[in-house]
Each structure stands twice: as structure tokens, then as C-alpha cells.
A and B are shown apart, each in its own frame.
Chain A
Amino acid sequence: MTDSTPKTKYELVCGMEVHAELKTKSKMFCGCKNDPFGAEKPNIYTCPTCLGMPGGLPVANKTAIEWTIKLGLALGCKINLFSKFDRKNYFYPDLPKAYQISQYDIPFCYEGVVETSEGPVRITRIHLEEDTGKLQHKTVDGKKVSLIDYNRSSVPLIEIVTEPDIKSAKQAKEYGKALRQVMRYLDIADCDMEQGGMRLEANISIRPEGQEELPDYKVEVKNINSFRFVEQAIAYEMERHDELLEAGETPAQETRGWNPNKSETFSQRTKEDTEDYRYFPDPDLPPIRFTQKRIDELAAEIPELPKAKAARWEKEFGIESKYAEQLTAERPYAEWLETVFAIAEKPNAVANAIVNKKVTVSEGEDPTAVAKKVADLSKTDDVDTSELVAAITKIKEANADAVEKYQNGDTKVVGFFIGQVMRVLGKKVDPNVLRTTLMKELKK
């Protein structure tokens, strides 16, 4: 590469779409069990509705709707009091009805925000839809086939869409983690990334630094199942776009996948026809209307979220924020820990000891026991003054030169004497008592 002209510096313009499966007991539009990962066999949690059999009809799960609204409220979203479900029509073997029940123009939630260390990421909308069945590709009897399991078909799925506010690959990762943390705090989704319970999609483009308008292209990288991969995929794409733009080309507007083995994205087969989902209001599902009172009730049910909890801990228990941030990560753990703080004499010492792994504790352990373990770290033995004085006298005799040094004003030797006293006594002495007694004796 010749370096005669200064290279254009580019910045990332990225929005994300995150899908997460809600952990309701039953599916979104039928009463089948919602446990696709726990199912022992394929196709055991189905009925005419989620199998798309003739005459199967959807009835929406109230809890799934309320949880979606709670998530919206937790992310500062506005709520559409009137909403509805629409059909998104397309053909794919994992979509039994050939339409996905989703929300088109009136999502439950809109205009929220997730704060990150690199600035706010605005939430455009949160809507509720249903998941598809699961496809596996295999060779059976020498024939390449796809196998379908509909246990996951019609499991409630929320989609969270952001504005293109993400400025770095790292921020994308942070955003995803923050989102997962909130969903776990609300106890509405497990967000098991390995299993596909939470799936990330990044809409990536870059523009020269300082440019105001959005780039004229966008690459979607779909179905990423880890935060590390989303960070890597964005970094990979940024570099790829940079090279293309430098060569005078515009990256193709397309959907790409992430290959974790090769650590690179790859172009996915694009449909010949542009997507046309022919959305229309689902005639099988009456619309939904909430009262502000009900929304307020739901808001009241939202638990304290990590950031607020950390701030309160600092105020109430004097927990330093560097500890609080780590210790509030998971809600059940944080709630248990708080019961320890409540009875501990020095809560911040507990936080310090746990974060720095000075003690081993496990969630649910008796708070008193934990407090004791931490207190034990700084516990001293009872030492009789005469015993102490006797030990000092003995040491003074053996180290006359050091005593002389001290009496001549060299206070550095105090440390030496402290060490000696501890060794001789073989006990943990209260440092204050030791120091005062020692100085008094040395002056003699």
C-alpha cells in the first residue's frame, strides 16, 4: 500500500435488531408447552395451531404481551395503548402457516433508550411475534435432507430494534449485554445464546468521519449467537467496507452470515424477488387495548434494575461502584447479596472480599455465615499485655543494635520489630495495640 495520500478515516454506523424468546409457560398463540430446549423429543409440543393445520386459530398469550410492555417500560419506551397483530407472509419450511404473526405498524413499545459507556443507543421499537420451527440439515440414508422440529414453532419472540446509534463494535457488544441483563432482571427471557434463545443482527455501514448523513448502503449480518461474535463480525465488516470504499466501490446491500470457524462473514443467498411480506391485520386476532392504569400497574411490577440498584447500594451500604457494577449483574444473586449487606457490619468489605475472591460464597448461603467469613479475614487473637511485653523484651535483647537505631531516630526499624513480634507470638495481634506497646517499650 502506498501512503502518499492520507487515508480516509471511517466511522461505524450501526443499528441492531435483537430477537429473544420469552420464557412463558405456554406458546404465543396456543396452549402448547413452551420449552423447545428442554423437550426430550422433536414434535412433542404441538397442536393444530402451531403446526399450521387447517382451521388452527391463534389466541394471544396475555403474559407474553404484558412482559413485552414491561421490557418497553424498563427501557424507557412509550407504549401504544392500542395495538394489534399482523400477518407477515412468506414461505419457508420452518414457518408452518406461511405467515408469521407479528406486528407491523403499531408495535407495543417505541422510542426507548439503552445507556452505554459510549453513549445512548435509542430503541426504535419493540414488538412481539412468534418464533419458527427449527431446521436441521442432515444426510439420511445417503440423501441430503432438512429435518423439521415444530416444538419451537410459535414460541413468543420479541424483537428489539435500535436506531443506527452504535459507533463501535465494542459498543454493540455492550448494548447486547445490557439488553440481556434487563431481560434477565425482568425474568422474562433466559436469553440462552448458545441455544438461539437470543439472536443478534447488526445493520452495518461506515461513513467518513465527520459526515452527517447516513451511508447509502447497509449490510445486515444475521443470526449471530454470541456477543463476542457480534463484536468480531462488526469489526470484520468495517474492515471489509473500508477496503471496498477505498477501492472506489460501495459494499453491496445484502444479508450476510457469520462463520465463527473462519471468523468471517459470508454472503447469504439473496432472493430473486425483493421481499414483499404483504402485511395485513390478522383477522383471527382481535386488537388489544390497554388503559394507562394497567400500564402503570405493570410499571409498578418492574423490579429495580442493575444501575439503580448499584446507585442505591452505594448510598445505603457504601458499596463502591466498581464492586456494585459487578455484583448487580444477575438479579437473584444481587438480591441475595443484599441480605448479606443488610446484616454485615462493613458491607463494602463484604463486596471487596467477594469481588477479589478473598472468600468463597455461593448464592443462597446463610447471610450470617457469609458476614462471619468476611469478618474473620480481619479478626485478631486476644493477647495478654504481659505476654506481649515479654515477647518485646526478648526481641530487644536479641537485637540491641536495632533498638539503638530506633532510639537514635530511625523509625524504619519499627516494621522489623512488628514482624519479629508476630513471629515470636505465633498469633494475630491487633495492629494498633501492637504498635503502641512496641513504641512504648522501645523507648525504654
Chain B
Amino acid sequence: MSTITPQQVKHIANLANIPVTEGEVTDLADAFEETLDVVANLQSVDTSKVEPTHQVTGLENVLREDVVDEAHMFTQAEALANAKETHEGFIVVPIIIDQE
């Protein structure tokens, strides 16, 4: 049985940038445990002689030539089309750091 503490849930929520309420913390901890119990069987597999597979295609060296792809670039209007707030071509967000 894995035990996930509310502290851990909050820490993870912070790392994941997910806002969670106190009520959600308990539910999430339960869901974590249920899932971690299912995946615990991984530890019983002998993987000592196995290399991990991160990609299944076996492809290597898929690279782009250094060419500007004008046709694929957005106009400024397209780039900003879905932004909530813009100002003179910039995307606006609430102040990040209050500079000295």
C-alpha cells in the first residue's frame, strides 16, 4: 500500500501548477493511492537486462535544414488571435516580478 500524505499532494500540485482546494487534496490522495497500487506490479518485473524504450519508431537524426519557413509562420494578428489581453503587439499578463 502506498501512502500519499496531503503534504505530498500539495507539493505536487504546486509543481504541476494546479490549483487545488483542501477538499480536493483528500480525493486526490485517494486516487493517487488507487493508481499507485495498480502500477506497483512494475516492481515485480525483472528489468535488469532491459534497455528502456522511449520511442517505438527506431528513427534517428530526424533534423531540419536551417531554412526559414515563411509560409508556416503566423502573422502578428494570428499569433495574438486567441490571447485574452494584448498591448501594442505584446501579450499582456499580470506583473511577474516587481523590478527594483
The residue from A34, A137, A146, A273 contacting B11, defined by CB atoms under 8 A apart: A273
Give the CA-CA distance A8 to B14 in the complex, in Å.
Answer: 44
**Number of interchain pairs (Cβ within 8 Å):** 138
Contacting pair B14 A272 (CB below 8 A): yes
For B57, the closest partner residue in chain A by CB is: A286
Q: Determine if A42 is an interface residue (Cβ-Cβ < 8 Å).
A: yes
Given contacts A31-B68, A61-B64, contact A91 B17 (CB under 8 A): yes
Contacting pair A43 B90 (CB below 8 A): yes
Q: How many residues of A contact B (CB 8 A)?
A: 54
User: What sequence of 0s and 1s flags, for each residue 40-72 of chain A, a beta carbon within 8 Å of any chain B beta carbon?
Assistant: 011111111001000000011111110000000
In the complex, chain A residues whose CB is within 8 Å of the CB of B96: 92-93, 135, 137, 146
The residue from A30, A148, A285, A287 contacting B90, defined by CB atoms under 8 A apart: A148
User: Interface size for chain B: under 10, 10 to 19, 20 to 34, or 35 or more residues?
Assistant: 35 or more
Q: Determine if B98 is an interface residue (Cβ-Cβ < 8 Å).
A: yes
For B99, the closest partner residue in chain A by CB is: A137
For B94, the closest partner residue in chain A by CB is: A145
Q: What would 26 A/B residue contacts be, using CB atoms closer than 8 Å?
A: A25-B67, A26-B66, A31-B69, A31-B73, A32-B73, A43-B79, A43-B90, A46-B74, A47-B73, A48-B74, A51-B74, A51-B79, A59-B64, A62-B63, A98-B17, A135-B96, A136-B90, A137-B99, A140-B92, A144-B98, A146-B95, A148-B91, A150-B91, A286-B61, A287-B55, A289-B61
Give the CA-CA distance A48 to B73 in the complex, in Å.
Answer: 8
Contacting pair B66 A61 (CB below 8 A): yes
For A275, the closest partner residue in chain B by CB is: B15
Q: Determine if A320 is an interface residue (Cβ-Cβ < 8 Å).
A: no
Interface of B is mostly: loop
The residue from A30, A266, A288 contacting B61, defined by CB atoms under 8 A apart: A288
Contacting pair A289 B62 (CB below 8 A): no
A31-B68, A32-B68, A137-B96 are known contacts; what are 7 more A-B pairs with Cβ within 8 Å? A42-B76, A43-B90, A63-B65, A91-B17, A137-B97, A140-B92, A147-B87
What distance in Å separates the Cβ of A105 from its nearest Cβ neighbour in chain B?
12
Q: Determine if B45 is an interface residue (Cβ-Cβ < 8 Å).
A: no
Contacting pair B100 A266 (CB below 8 A): yes
Give the CA-CA distance A286 to B59 in the complex, in Å.
Answer: 6
Give the CA-CA distance A288 to B63 in the complex, in Å.
Answer: 9
Chain A residues at the B interface, C-beta cutoff of 8 Å: 24-26, 30-34, 41-48, 51, 59-65, 91-93, 98, 135-137, 140, 144-150, 259, 266, 269, 272-273, 276, 278, 280-281, 283, 285-289
The residue from B14, B62, B93, B94 contacting A59, defined by CB atoms under 8 A apart: B62
Contacting pair A45 B73 (CB below 8 A): yes
Most chain-A Cβ atoms within 10 A of its Cβ — which of B65, B68, B72? Answer: B68
Contacting pair A30 B69 (CB below 8 A): yes
Contacting pair B87 A31 (CB below 8 A): no
Q: Determine if B84 is an interface residue (Cβ-Cβ < 8 Å).
A: no
The residue from A32, A46, A146, A150 contacting B94, defined by CB atoms under 8 A apart: A146
Contacting pair B76 A41 (CB below 8 A): yes
Given contacts A51-B74, A146-B94, A147-B90, contact A26 B63 (CB under 8 A): no
In the complex, chain A residues whose CB is within 8 Å of the CB of B92: 140, 145-148
What distance in Å separates the Cβ of A77 from its nearest Cβ neighbour in chain B?
20
Q: Determine if B22 is an interface residue (Cβ-Cβ < 8 Å).
A: no
Contacting pair B74 A60 (CB below 8 A): no
Q: Determine if B80 is an interface residue (Cβ-Cβ < 8 Å).
A: yes
Q: Determine if B49 is an interface residue (Cβ-Cβ < 8 Å).
A: no
Contacting pair A33 B17 (CB below 8 A): no
In the complex, chain B residues whose CB is within 8 Å of the CB of A65: 63
What distance in Å separates the Cβ of B16 from its nearest Cβ neighbour in chain A?
9
Contacting pair A33 B74 (CB below 8 A): no
In the complex, chain A residues whose CB is within 8 Å of the CB of B11: 273
Contacting pair A24 B66 (CB below 8 A): yes
Give the CA-CA distance A144 to B97 in the complex, in Å.
Answer: 10
Give the CA-CA distance A59 to B68 in the complex, in Å.
Answer: 13
In the complex, chain A residues whose CB is within 8 Å of the CB of B17: 91, 98
In the complex, chain A residues whose CB is within 8 Å of the CB of B73: 31-33, 45-47
Contacting pair B93 A146 (CB below 8 A): yes
Contacting pair B66 A25 (CB below 8 A): yes
In the complex, chain A residues whose CB is within 8 Å of the CB of B23: none
In the complex, chain B residues whose CB is within 8 Å of the CB of A148: 90-93
Give B1-33 interface residues, CB cut-off 8 Å to A.
11, 14-15, 17
Give the CA-CA distance A148 to B87 in the complex, in Å.
Answer: 10
In the complex, chain B residues whose CB is within 8 Å of the CB of A98: 17
Q: Determine if B60 is an interface residue (Cβ-Cβ < 8 Å).
A: yes
In the complex, chain B residues whose CB is within 8 Å of the CB of A289: 60-61
Give the CA-CA distance A273 to B16 in the complex, in Å.
Answer: 12
User: What sequence of 0s and 1s flags, for each residue 39-59 of chain B, a beta carbon within 8 Å of any chain A beta carbon?
Assistant: 000000000000000110101
